[in-house]
């Protein structure tokens, strides 16, 4: 059975009437993306995986596995979420690779596998619970955040990592640094060499396209939930997105790693021999209000699409502290740390027990 390729944990069935099958769909929050180092470049280097061997998708690290450990009645936990997937990918699958370069490689879409597993669970006399995230990757928000993180790392490098005083940095955006989050723009970094031509690096930050995508997110949320209910799901929980503004980024280690990947070998001598670990906010204080507005609008688009049904709930996110978010980049921050995943698992448990 193809669905078993995404089985993460299982227990021996004891009492049929009390046993439950848990399925997950969604994006990198559910999948989940755990970056343990400062690898840069394609393929998500220094990013963990489970026994399926797909970096960026670690179902053991996910809140789904943590909830499995909390609830002894769960006999099967299957995770069909993938990093970078939007709601359309959940419904239809994806022909190309996920955000870390992994092909889908399944006979049906994530939603197709989840509904089939739910239907089988009900036929076998089990309860069927489902949790999902989704919507952020319908927009270009992940790209915006990744590019902003790059700029933050280069900004710090120009200020603190340069032993020779030849690094320069500037923000380039309408409205300056404060306006870059949703308006787009970029940043410029250059090596002002005393002899020879300067070396330039430009990082472009696209304009945020969320408002154009919200109607599609709403419609897809309706389709996803109705399909799960139609398959017989007893409880469906849509996990909303948490506030990422407490996130920290180790700009010292990241800026060093990023510059080392961008500078020609002959110019890497302008970097310190080892990185300087320094935590700073991923979201500059100038951007906090704008970023919270983006997350609120995205969650509202999801809520508008989730049908009103006794078997369905949206899970409002728990309070998040800096320690609940990874500090790595390019794919770590603002994904949950272990304590963040624990908080999501506890939130899921609370919603499910209240249904």
Residue 57, token pair as written in the block: 């998708």
CA quadruple 13, 78, 329, 315: dihedral positive or negative? Answer: negative
Q: How far is CA 217 from CA 83, 150, 316, 344, 355, in A?
A: 17, 28, 17, 22, 25
8 Å CB contact between 126 and 21: yes
Burial class (CB in 10 A: 0-12, 13-18, 19+), 127: buried
Q: Is 108 helix (H, G, I), strand (E, B) or coil?
A: coil
* DSSP state at residue 98: -
- Residue 276: how many other CB atoms lie within 10 Å: 15
Mean pLDDT per 10-residue interval, the chain, length 355 residues? 80 71 98 92 93 96 97 95 98 96 96 97 94 98 94 92 88 89 94 82 96 98 98 98 97 92 89 91 95 98 98 98 95 95 98 97
CA quadruple 86, 98, 42, 251: dihedral positive or negative? Answer: positive
User: Nearest CA to 152 among 270, 281, 45?
Assistant: 281
Which pLDDT tens digit goes with each residue over 230-268?
999 999 999 999 999 999 999 999 999 999 999 999 888
Residue 171, token pair as written in the block: 């923000």
What pLDDT score does 17 carry?
60
Residue 316, token pair as written in the block: 């409002």
Instruction: Write down the H helix ranges in 177-307.
Output: 180-183, 210-231, 251-262, 288-305
Only one residue has tokens 């920290």, namely 248
What pLDDT score does 203 carry?
95
Rounded to an integer, what distance in angstroms lies between the CA atom of residue 140 and that of residue 124? Answer: 41
Q: How far is CA 92 from CA 111, 212, 224, 270, in A?
A: 7, 20, 10, 48
User: Nearest CA to 316 among 332, 333, 300?
Assistant: 300
- Which H or E element spans position 222? helix 210-231
Rounded to an integer, what distance in angstroms lies between the CA atom of residue 153 and that of residue 114? Answer: 39
* DSSP state at residue 38: -
User: Nearest CA to 326 among 149, 207, 196?
Assistant: 149
Rounded to an integer, what distance in angstroms lies between the CA atom of residue 272 and that of residue 164? Answer: 10
8 Å CB contact between 234 and 119: no
Q: How far is CA 69 from CA 9, 91, 325, 346, in A?
A: 9, 28, 21, 11
Rounded to an integer, what distance in angstroms lies between the CA atom of residue 238 and that of residue 317? Answer: 10
Claim: this prediction has a pTM higher than 0.75:
yes
What pLDDT score does 108 carry?
96
What pLDDT score does 192 carry?
87
Rounded to an integer, what distance in angstroms lies between the CA atom of residue 186 and that of residue 151? Answer: 8
Residue 30, token pair as written in the block: 């559910």
């Amino acid at each position: 059975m193809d669905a078993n390729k995404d089985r993460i944990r299982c227990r021996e069935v004891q009492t049929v009437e009390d046993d439950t099958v848990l399925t997950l769909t969604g994006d990198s929050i559910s999948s989940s993306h755990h970056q343990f180092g400062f690898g840069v470049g394609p393929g998500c280097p220094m990013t963990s995986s489970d026994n399926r061997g797909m970096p960026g998708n670690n179902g053991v690290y996910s809140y789904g596995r943590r909830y499995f450990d909390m609830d002894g009645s769960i006999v099967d936990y299957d995770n069909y979420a993938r990093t970078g997937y939007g709601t359309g990918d959940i419904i239809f699958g994806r022909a190309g690779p996920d955000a870390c370069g992994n092909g889908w490689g399944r006979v049906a879409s994530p939603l197709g596998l989840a509904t089939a597993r739910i239907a089988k669970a009900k036929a076998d006399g089990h309860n069927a619970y489902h949790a999902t995230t989704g919507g952020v990757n319908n927009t270009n928000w992940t790209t915006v955040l990744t590019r902003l993180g790059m700029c933050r790392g280069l900004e710090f490098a120009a200020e603190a990592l340069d032993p020779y005083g030849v690094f320069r940095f500037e923000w380039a955006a309408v409205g300056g640094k404060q306006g870059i989050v949703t308006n787009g723009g970029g940043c410029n970094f250059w090596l002002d060499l005393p002899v020879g031509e300067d070396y330039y690096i430009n990082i472009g930050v696209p304009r945020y396209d969320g408002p154009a995508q919200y109607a599609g997110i709403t419609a897809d949320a309706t389709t996803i939930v109705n399909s799960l209910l139609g398959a017989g799901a007893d409880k469906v929980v849509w996990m909303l997105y948490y506030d990422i503004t407490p996130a920290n980024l180790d700009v010292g280690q990241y800026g060093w790693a990023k510059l080392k990947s961008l500078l020609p070998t002959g110019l890497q001598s302008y970097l310190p021999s080892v990185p300087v670990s320094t935590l700073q906010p991923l979201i500059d204080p100038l951007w906090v209000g704008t970023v919270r507005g983006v997350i609120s609008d995205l969650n509202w688009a999801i809520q508008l699409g989730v049908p009103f049904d006794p078997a369905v709930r949206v899970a409002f996110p728990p309070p998040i502290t800096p320690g609940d978010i990874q500090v790595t980049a390019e794919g770590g921050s603002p994904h949950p740390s272990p304590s963040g995943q624990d908080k999501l698992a506890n939130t899921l448990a609370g919603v499910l027990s209240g249904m």
